Amino acid sequence: MFFEEGIVKQTILIVEDDADTLALIEHYLKDSDFKIVSSKNGDEAFQLAIDESPDIALIDGLIPGIHGFELCKQIKESPKLTYRPKIIIMSSVYTGRKYKMEIMEYKADDFLPKPFDKAALLSKINAVMKAA
């Protein structure tokens, strides 16, 4: 988190290797109260999670470097992170019931199938952030 004019903003980490999808998500969130940090690969994203302590992470299931599912698990279990962000896995490939269950085994807080619109993204983020 960081301070801006006395206001604490929450940080969102977006991990997406497709430039168009990343730009769309950033556009959807531009008017939000989030500080946005992003990465196109799992290895860099893990380091960003350590450095930025995000409140929430949107992670694509298929990314270069550390696979999205494994990245989720590493973020949730790493002793290098003092704070455990909420994590939403996004995917257009892993959409069946089998994969949704597997995603939860990797300690994701929720799943968002692609493609999605702004309302679906914001609704999912709000629901995950409100969950205890």
64-to-17, 52, 59, 68 alpha-carbon distances in Å: 7, 20, 12, 9
Instruction: Report pLDDT digits (tens) over 34-71.
Output: 999 999 999 999 999 999 999 999 999 999 999 999 99
Q: What is the DSSP string of 75-104?
A: HHH-TT-SS--EEEEEESS--SHHHHHHHH
Q: Tell me the domains of the chain and their CATH numbers.
A: 2-130 (3.40.50.2300)
Q: What is the pLDDT of residues 1-40, one digit of tens each?
A: 333 444 568 999 999 999 999 999 999 999 888 999 999 9
SS3 20: helix
Q: Could you tell me what percent of the chain has a pLDDT over 70?
A: 90
Query: Contact, 60 vs 88, CB < 8 A?
Result: no
Percent of the chain topping pLDDT 90: 66
